[in-house]
Amino acid sequence: MRELTKADEQVMLILWEIKDGLTKDVIEKMDPPKPAYNTVSTVIMVLEGKGFIDHKAVGNTHIYFPVIIEDQYKHFAFEKVINNYFENSYESLVSFLVKEKNMDMEALDELIQMAEKLKNKKW
């Protein structure tokens, strides 16, 4: 799987939300100032080339839909962050979150309990 650019991600977040749609449907969901139709169309073609989306032809229009589900990409992106910024250490990540977000003891306990459940889960 390849990493999404900011423009790719913006379009993918919309397609994950709406499930499928035309280029104009994607543009309608974007915040102002809305990009040009051709710009969004180009991003959609790039995403299709990367294998993130596909289309079905209806007459002379294309309805685009995600091929990669959001959770798949979240997992990929999360692993990339863990590897690149936290030396593949969940302990380093948790330490960072506690320090940066001033996590209270209750939230930290919930995080530890969640980690323990995942640790004990058989994959």
Could you tell me the residue ranges of all domains in the chain?
A: 6-66, 70-120
Task: Give the pairing type, strands 53-58 and 61-66.
Answer: antiparallel
pLDDT at position 74? 92
Query: Residue type for 24, please?
Result: K
DSSP assignment, residue 56? Answer: E
Whether the ω angle into residue 32 lies within 30 degrees of 0, i.e. cis, is no
The predicted-structure confidence for 55-82, as pLDDT tens digits, reads as follows 999 999 999 999 999 999 998 998 898 8
User: Which ranges of the chain would DSSP assign to H, the alpha helix?
Assistant: 6-18, 23-29, 37-50, 70-85, 90-100, 105-120
| Structure token pair of residue 120 | 């004990």
The predicted-structure confidence for 10-61, as pLDDT tens digits, reads as follows 999 999 999 999 999 999 999 999 999 999 999 999 999 999 999 999 999 9
Which CATH code of 1.10.357.10, 3.30.420.40, 3.30.300.30, 1.10.10.10 fits the domain covering 6-66? 1.10.10.10
Residue whose entry in the numeric block shows the structure tokens 């299709």: 48
Query: What is the C-alpha to C-alpha distance for residues 74 and 13, in angstroms, rounded to an integer?
Result: 11
Considering the entire predicted model, what is its pTM? 0.81
pLDDT at position 23? 98
